[in-house]
Structure 1
C-alpha cells in the first residue's frame, strides 16, 4: 500500500471524529443537556498498544513503498510503531477522541522507553527504565529524564487530553542481565522515577508485565511509595494471566480443556489477585482476545468485584476496552479501540474500529456516574451462567494455538452492584448478559450485552428486563439493545427527558414511555431512535442513552 491509502484512511478517521464531535455539540433545544459539560473524574485512559499493532502510519512505510503492518510483526513490531510521527503528526493518534479527549489520559504503552529494534527475549533486562527514548520522541529530547517526560506531558495536554500516562514494566532496568538489585536499591530506583513523574506532571502509570509482575509485595511497595511521594499518581496494577479464562491447550490432544469460567482458574493465581485487590488502588482485569472479550471480561469483573469487596479492598476496577460492561458495573475503562486501525483480521468479527460512539457514550456517562470503589458496593451475580464460543480461523488472533479451534467462555447471566439482580425475560431461546449498578450518589446504569456463537456471529437476544430500583429524579444510563427495561417509580412522572449519551440534545420522551402502577417502562425503540445519527455516519455502535424522569 502507498501513502495515498494512508491519506484515505486518515480521511475516513477524520469523518468519524467529526461526526462524533458534532454529536457532542450543544443542541438548540431549551432543555439543558443531561450530561455535564466538564471532564469527568474517572481515571479512564486511551492506550496506544492495540493501535501500535493495527494502525498504518506514514513512518511505517518502507523504502519499497509498502506499508509495514506492525501487527504482523508481533509485539516487536508494535514497539517500533510509537513515536513523534505516529502520535503527534497532523492527523496522528493525538487527534483522536475529540469529543471526550479531556476525560481521557493518553497512555503511552509498551515501547516508549526502550531503544528501537530491541530484542525482548535477549534484552528483557532493559525494560522498565522510564527513560523516554529520544530517537523515537526527538521533540522531547533533554538531558533530564524528568524534563523529557514533562515535555511529553505538555504536548499531550496542549492537544486537550487529561495528560500523559506511562506503561511501566514491573522490574528495574539493568545495564546487563547479571546486575542485581537489593531491596533498598530497588526502592530507591522507584522512588527516583516516581519523583520524575511528579516533576513532569505525569499522573498515571500502567504497571504491567516484568520480572516482578506477580509479586504483590512489589506492587504494594509501588503503591505506598506513590502515595507518599506523589499522591496525584494513580498506579494501575494487574496480575498477568491467560487471555481466556480457565482454558488450557493440550498439545497431545490438539484441543482446549477447562470450564471457561474465571473463578475456576489456578487457585494460586486467584489467591494472588485477592491479595492484590486488598492493597491496590486501581486494578485491571487484564487482557482478553476478541471476539470473546465480553464473556471473558464479565466473568473476571464479577469475580474481581465480589472478591475485592470480601478482601476489604478500596480500589477501582478497570475493565479495559469492554466499555459498556464497565458502564453497567461502575468500573473504569482502558480504551484500546481506534478508527485509526487498518482492516485487521483480529477485528473482522468484533469490528471495534467502527464502534467509536460506544466509547464516547460510556466516557460521557462516567461524568454522571464516575467509577466507584470496592468499599462502596456490594456485588451479586446469578447462579445461571451463559456460555459463548468462537472458532478462530487462521490469523484471526495472535494466539496460534486457537487457530482452527473452538474456544468457549462463560459468565454469570446477570451481575449487579448495589442493586438486587434484575429479572430478565428473554423473548426467544437465548438471553443477553445483563449488568446493573446504582452509583453511591444515586444514578443507575443497566447494560444489556450481546452474545456470540460460532456460525452465528455476534447477536442481540431480545429481552424484557425489570430492575428493582426507584429512579425518581435520578439519571439512568441504558446501554445496549433490549425490548424494554422497567424501573420502580411510585408517582407518575410529569416529564421524562432522554438523549443519546453522545449528544447534548435532550428530548421530552414522555409519550414513548409507559407508566402504570408504580412502574416505568422504557422501550428499546426509544434508545434506537435517539442513537440513529451515529449509524447514519457509518458507526456500528450499540446504542446508549441517559434518561431522567421527574
Structure 2
C-alpha cells in the first residue's frame, strides 16, 4: 500500500509541477492594427535628398526585388504575420509624377508604371498585389492615402468617387488606409463621410485619420503623427495623454496609433506604426542617416523592441479611448536635446536645444504607478489594464543633453489581480505589484518569457512575495526580458510574466 501512495504522489507532482511550460505567447497572429510603413525606407534609399526622390523609391522592384536595399517584404520575419505592410506616398502615382502638387494625388489605384508585374483592372491589380504581399508572410497590405479626390479625375462626386475605391479595396482584400495630408486633410465632414462609406462598402478596411486630434472620435484609428526621433518619446506621450479625454462617436473604434514607439504603445494600449528598418549605418550616399541618427537611442539597433511590442498584442489587443478610467500626472518631465551634426531632419541647427515635455506618469484602467525617484532624470512610467484583463507597465528613458538615459528606479503598481498576463517593458531597480489581498507564494508557479523569444523561464524562486506585495528585482526583469535578444541589439527589456496557480497539495504524506 505504501508504494501505491508513493506512485500516486509522484503522479500528482507531475500534474502540479509540469516539467515543461509551453510558450506564454500565443502562436496565433495579433489582430491589432499594427503595420510597417515604407516612408523611411524610401527616404533611406534616396538618401533623403528630396521629397520627389523619396517618392520615386516606392516601387514594386524595391518591395519584391533582390538587389541591394530591396526586398522590403522580407523585413521583420518574426512578426510579419502580425503586421500590415503599408506602402507610403506615391504607390498610386505614375513614376514620372512625384511632386507634391501632381494631379494623381488621391488616385488610390495600384499604378502600373510602379508595379508593372501586376496587370488587369484596378481591382485586379490590387488583388494580385495583396496576394503577393500576403505570400511573403504579411498579414495584409495597406497604403498611404492623400486626403482628396485626384484632380486628374476631373470634377467628381466625392461619395461616388470613394465608394468606387472602397469597393475595390473590399474586393481585393486591401487592409489599411493611412489617410494623411491633402486638400481635405482638416475637413472633419469629409473624413466622416469617408469613414461612414468605409463601414458600408469595405467593413474590413481600417481607416486611419491624422492631422487634427479631434478626428480620433470618428474613425478606426488615429495616428499621433510625425516626430523627430531624438525627442520622440515625450512628444508622443504628451500627444497620447492629450487625446484620452475624447469620446468615440457612433461605432468608431478610436484606437491610438503612436507610430514607431512600441513600448509606449504597450504601456498605454496603443497600436504601432513601425517606421524603422534593418538597413543600418550611413545613407547610400555616405552621409549620416539624420532620421535615425546613430546617437541617443539609435533606433535601427533596436529592432527587438518592435518584435516585443507587436508580439505583446497577441496577448492583449490595443483598445480605444472613451473610458474615464485614466490618470495623468500633473508633474511634467522635460527632455532637452542639444543638437549635433545631422541629429535631426528638422530645421534645428547644431548647438540648438530641442525641448519636449510630457506627464511623468500616465495610466489607463489602473491607478498611477508609484515611483521612488524624484530627480529630473527619472524615466516616464506608463501602465494600462487591457480589456481582457492583461496588464502592461513600461518605463521610458530620457533624452537629456546629448544622450539617452535609462535610470533604474523602484516602482510600485497597484493591480486588481494576477489572473492575467503581465507585460513589463523597460529597465527597473525593482517592480512591486500590489494586490488588494494577501497571497501565498506556495500557491503559484511564476513564469517569465522574453517577448522576442519562445522559451519561458521559471522565476518562482527569484520573486519576493510578502503578503499582498510581489516584487520582481530589476536584474530578473533584465535577465528574462533580454534572454532572446539579437546580438548587438540595444533594446530595453520586454517580457511577459504569468502566475499559474498550483492545485492544493493533497496531504497524503500521513498515509505513507
Q: TM (normalized to structure 1)?
A: 0.81
* Cα contact 1:314–1:375 (8 A) shared by 2: no
Residue 236 of structure 1, aligned match among 208, 220, 235: 208
Q: How does 1:286-297 map to 2 (within 5 A)?
A: 286-297=225-236
SS at match of 1:345: coil
Residue 391 of structure 2 is aligned to residue 451 of structure 1: no
* Cα contact 1:93–1:340 (8 A) shared by 2: no
Residue 414 of structure 2 is aligned to residue 465 of structure 1: no
Name the structure 2 match of 1:475. Answer: 421
SS at match of 2:372: strand
Residue 455 of structure 2 is aligned to residue 505 of structure 1: yes
Name the structure 2 match of 1:488. Answer: 434
Q: Deviations over 1:232-279 (max 9, x none)?
A: 11100001xxxxxxxxxxxxxxxxxxxxxxxxxxxxxxxx522x2222
CA distance in structure 2 between the partners assigned to 1:173 and 1:469 by the alignment: 51
Residue 190 of structure 1, aligned match among 133, 157, 162: 162
CA distance in structure 2 between the partners assigned to 1:233 and 1:117 by the alignment: 29
Residue 120 of structure 2 is aligned to residue 148 of structure 1: no
Q: Deviations over 1:271-329 (max 9, x none)?
A: x522x222222111111111111000000011112334799964111000011100001
SS at match of 2:42: helix
CA distance in structure 2 between the partners assigned to 1:416 and 1:163 by the alignment: 31
Residue 213 of structure 2 is aligned to residue 273 of structure 1: yes
CA distance in structure 1 between the partners assigned to 2:352 and 2:246 by the alignment: 32
Instruction: State the 1:393 CA deviation.
Output: 3.0
Unmatched 5+ stretches in structure 1: 1-27, 56-69, 240-271
* Cα contact 1:427–1:462 (8 A) shared by 2: no
* Cα contact 1:427–1:461 (8 A) shared by 2: no
CA distance in structure 2 between the partners assigned to 1:536 and 1:164 by the alignment: 27
Name the structure 2 match of 1:213. Answer: 185
Change (3 A) 1:458 1:497: same
Residue 474 of structure 2 is aligned to residue 524 of structure 1: yes
Q: How does 1:376-387 map to 2 (within 5 A)?
A: 378-387=325-334
CA distance in structure 1 between the partners assigned to 2:192 and 2:428 by the alignment: 42
Instruction: State the 1:414 CA deviation.
Output: 0.1
Q: Deviations over 1:13-60 (max 9, x none)?
A: xxxxxxxxxxxxxxx9710111111101111101011111124xxxxx
* Cα contact 1:464–1:484 (8 A) shared by 2: yes
* Cα contact 1:329–1:416 (8 A) shared by 2: yes
Change (3 A) 1:201 1:418: same
CA distance in structure 2 between the partners assigned to 1:523 and 1:205 by the alignment: 43
Relative to its length, the structure with more helix (as a share) is 1
SS at match of 2:168: helix
CA distance in structure 2 between the partners assigned to 1:188 and 1:403 by the alignment: 50
CA distance in structure 2 between the partners assigned to 1:160 and 1:50 by the alignment: 21
Name the structure 1 match of 2:302. Answer: 355
CA distance in structure 1 between the partners assigned to 2:253 and 2:136 by the alignment: 33
Change (3 A) 1:313 1:305: farther
Q: How does 1:121-270 map to 2 (within 5 A)?
A: 121=100, 123-142=101-120, 144-175=121-152, 179-181=154-156, 185-239=157-211
Name the structure 2 match of 1:101. Answer: 80
Q: Deviations over 1:117-155 (max 9, x none)?
A: 43425x33321101222222111122x111111111000
Instruction: State the 1:188 CA deviation.
Output: 0.7
* Cα contact 2:449–2:496 (8 A) shared by 1: yes
* Cα contact 1:425–1:465 (8 A) shared by 2: yes
SS at match of 2:264: helix
Residue 6 of structure 2 is aligned to residue 30 of structure 1: no
Name the structure 2 match of 1:395. Answer: 342
Change (3 A) 1:407 1:283: same
CA distance in structure 1 between the partners assigned to 2:415 and 2:250 by the alignment: 27
* Cα contact 2:217–2:249 (8 A) shared by 1: no
* Cα contact 1:376–1:440 (8 A) shared by 2: no
Change (3 A) 1:389 1:124: farther
Name the structure 2 match of 1:320. Answer: 259
Residue 366 of structure 2 is aligned to residue 419 of structure 1: yes
Name the structure 1 match of 2:353. Answer: 406
Asked which structure has the greater CA Rg, the reply is: 2
Instruction: State the 1:545 CA deviation.
Output: 0.5
CA distance in structure 2 between the partners assigned to 1:119 and 1:229 by the alignment: 30
Residue 44 of structure 2 is aligned to residue 72 of structure 1: no
SS at match of 2:244: helix
CA distance in structure 2 between the partners assigned to 1:541 and 1:311 by the alignment: 39
Following TM superposition, the consecutive aligned residue runs of length 4 or more in structure 1 with deviations greater than 6 angstroms are 309-313
Name the structure 2 match of 1:3. Answer: none
CA distance in structure 2 between the partners assigned to 1:402 and 1:322 by the alignment: 25
CA distance in structure 2 between the partners assigned to 1:311 and 1:428 by the alignment: 44
Change (3 A) 1:388 1:397: same
CA distance in structure 2 between the partners assigned to 1:312 and 1:414 by the alignment: 30
Instruction: State the 1:401 CA deviation.
Output: 4.2
Q: How does 1:337-352 map to 2 (within 5 A)?
A: 337-343=276-282, 344-347=289-292, 348-349=294-295, 350-352=297-299
* Cα contact 2:56–2:98 (8 A) shared by 1: no
Residue 18 of structure 2 is aligned to residue 41 of structure 1: no
Name the structure 1 match of 2:223. Answer: 284
Q: Deviations over 1:46-96 (max 9, x none)?
A: 1011111124xxxxxxxxxxxxxx133232111111212211124611011
CA distance in structure 2 between the partners assigned to 1:345 and 1:174 by the alignment: 34
CA distance in structure 2 between the partners assigned to 1:53 and 1:378 by the alignment: 40
Identify the range of structure 1 (339-348 vs 188-197) with the bigger mean alpha-carbon deviation.
339-348
Q: TM (normalized to structure 2)?
A: 0.87
Q: Deviations over 1:339-396 (max 9, x none)?
A: 1244213322231111111011011111111001213562211000000011223432
CA distance in structure 2 between the partners assigned to 1:392 and 1:113 by the alignment: 36
Alignment coverage as a number of residue pairs:
468
Residue 386 of structure 2, aligned match among 439, 451, 457: 439
CA distance in structure 1 between the partners assigned to 2:216 and 2:326 by the alignment: 15
Aligned-residue CA RMSD in angstroms?
A: 2.1
